[in-house]
Structure 1
Amino acid sequence: MSAGLTAIVAGCGALPLTLGRHLAEAGAPFVFAPVDGSGAEAPEGWQTEPFLVERLALFFDRLHQIGATRVVLAGGVTRARLDPERIDPKTAMLLPRVLPALQQGDDALLRAVIGLFEEEGFVVVGAETIAPDLVPAPGLLAGPAPSPQDEKDAARAAELVALIGAADVGQGAVVAQGQCLALETLPGTDAMLRFVAGARRPDTHAARGVFYKAPKPGQERRVDLPAIGPATVEAAARAGLAGIAVEAGGVMVLDRAASVAAAEDAGLFLWVRPA
């Protein structure tokens, strides 16, 4: 683990807290920086610093002041409108670099933000650098082995994810009997699986379908690496799917023990599919 303090720029979800706990258990110094409006909260006793895009330059200054050398961006963030009244003069000089990216996809925006951190001298790392066990090796993690039809559906879904990912749209798809039931877009995985739960299947007596998740082609993997967790497994079960397949080396499984237990209880497979 590199010397210096790690700053966790924390959006919503379980990942930022997971990373904080890994660092705490390793005795590594860190600061938890909740993104304004994300709802992220640090447990009592953790050092915290607020993160506001409108005060980005001041945030950089503060990180230097407390000795931070490494940054990890983790968790979901909803794009909020900037508040002009909160923008300080120093940050105003940086915003022309970020504003054009706000009009593009998530990956473009994240690349712009990473670039600013790196220009300030911080090393930006992915979540798996801090917690390598979050990214499982290829193989079946839980449930029955995928059927030949499930494997075909996963392969078809992988093709679709590559297409929408190349357009910086989403990272997931649901396929049943070779037919696409849903593609992940801005509303996210949960919204997609809720839609599938109410969608008509090609044949209710045949294959139930597979949810597949993978990074976008050429994605900046230090940020926004796809993740699933127990809630994803439960949503897939409510959608009546046969299982979940994720790209090996490209998707994090949060709270693996609980995810595996949820899949076993629901009779779903949880498969880390070789890329």
Structure 2
Amino acid sequence: MSGGKHTALIAGSGRLPAIVQEAVPDILVCEMIGAPCHLDGYHLRFRIERLVPFLDELADRGIERVVFAGAMQRPAIDPEQFDPRSAQLVPRLAMAMQAGDDATLRAVIEVFEEFDLEVVGAHELVPALLPEAGVLCGKPSAVDEDDAERGAEIVAALGASDIGQGAVVGRGLCLAVETLPGTDAMLDFVRHHKGLRGDLKAVKGVFYKAPKPDQDRRADLPAIGVETVKNAAAAGLSGIAFEAGGVMLLDRDAVIEAAEEAGLFLWARAS
């Protein structure tokens, strides 16, 4: 991987920002105040209320491309902190935020591009994050394959409404879908509630994950990590299926090892 002297990382929480930082030497880590990233080293911190001065500073530093990585909670906004130019962006971004996460990210990307910054995906800087199609460990049964197919249908419907990127299906029944609280909350829900109905007690189920249809894949591309595997195992699932080329596998060797230890299959499923 070439150096990141002219690349800025807008870093959120989770493992992905660290993976990008490790893979791209000299990358400039940028941390939004109110949404810490927990990375070591020097950070250029900025306020969302002063977005335009931040973009000006990136230009002054010779930054040419930007990558967004990690989960980022929306910070509390202080109206008194807005500078005049950033304030002009508020109606545009507020309208996008009402439309959903994907619309918000598209609007943010457009703003960065208007300042002559190329926005790239984390997987473009670290291609190994995207496994090729195939079963990485374990062996999905015929029932699992049917559940993965049904999960793909559900996730496509969810994504079309900009709701979520994951679902759990057991013997054709939708046990849970991913919403604003995220994947871990969904899997925890399955762990607590799957056995409430007698006809579900023997059902394991499959967690399926994929990007939203027509999603801008330069930001918010779904990811699976070791914690995802642990939570899927705790939920009593038989495995995890995900769209090949559309879901990042964080710390691949560790994820596969965790799945093997838990007796789960991992399947990068061709869409």
CA distance in 2, matches of 1:260, 1:35: 32
Aligned 8 A contact 1:4 1:69 in 2: no
Percent identical pairs in the alignment equals 52
Cα shift at 1:82: 1.5
- What do residues 114-165 of structure 1 show as CA deviations (whole Å, max 9, x unaligned)? 00000000000001110000000011112x2100000000000000000010
CA distance in 1, matches of 2:194, 2:207: 16
**Residue 158 of structure 1 aligns with which residue?**
152
| Paired residues for 1:180-259 under 5 Å | 180-201=174-195, 202-205=199-202, 207-259=203-255
Deviates more, 1:62-71 or 1:77-86: 77-86
Q: Does 1:132 align with 2:127?
A: yes
Aligned 8 A contact 2:3 2:27 in 1: no
Picking from 100, 111, 115, the partner of 1:105 is 100
2:76 match: secondary structure: coil
Cα shift at 1:2: 8.7
Aligned 8 A contact 1:110 1:223 in 2: yes
2:20 match: secondary structure: helix
CA distance in 1, matches of 2:66, 2:162: 24
2:150 alignment partner AA: R
Picking from 259, 266, 273, the partner of 2:269 is 273
CA distance in 2, matches of 1:52, 1:235: 34
| Paired residues for 1:45-194 under 5 Å | 47-142=42-137, 144-194=138-188
Aligned 8 A contact 1:4 1:70 in 2: no
Runs of at least 5 residues in structure 1 that lack an aligned partner in the other structure: none
**Residue 8 of structure 2 aligns with which residue?**
7
Deviates more, 1:129-138 or 1:3-12: 3-12
Aligned 8 A contact 2:106 2:216 in 1: yes
CA distance in 2, matches of 1:222, 1:38: 20
Cα shift at 1:200: 2.7
Aligned 8 A contact 2:178 2:186 in 1: yes
CA distance in 1, matches of 2:261, 2:3: 40
CA distance in 1, matches of 2:183, 2:113: 30
Q: CA RMSD in A?
A: 1.4
1:50 match: secondary structure: strand
**Residue 20 of structure 2 aligns with which residue?**
19
**Paired residues, what number?**
267
Aligned 8 A contact 2:208 2:242 in 1: yes
**Residue 260 of structure 1 aligns with which residue?**
256
Cα shift at 1:102: 1.6
Aligned 8 A contact 2:3 2:24 in 1: no
TM-score by length of 2: 0.95
1:21 alignment partner AA: E
2:53 match: secondary structure: helix
Deviates more, 1:49-58 or 1:159-168: 49-58
CA distance in 2, matches of 1:160, 1:166: 10
Cα shift at 1:38: 2.0
**Residue 31 of structure 1 aligns with which residue?**
28
Aligned 8 A contact 1:34 1:41 in 2: no
CA distance in 1, matches of 2:44, 2:147: 45
Cα shift at 1:94: 2.1
Distance 1:2 1:98, change over 3 A: farther
1:7 alignment partner AA: A
TM-score by length of 1: 0.94
CA distance in 1, matches of 2:5, 2:200: 57
- What do residues 170-215 of structure 1 show as CA deviations (whole Å, max 9, x unaligned)? 000000000000000000000000000011344333x410000000
Runs of at least 5 residues in structure 2 that lack an aligned partner in the other structure: none
Distance 1:175 1:3, change over 3 A: closer
CA distance in 2, matches of 1:59, 1:125: 18
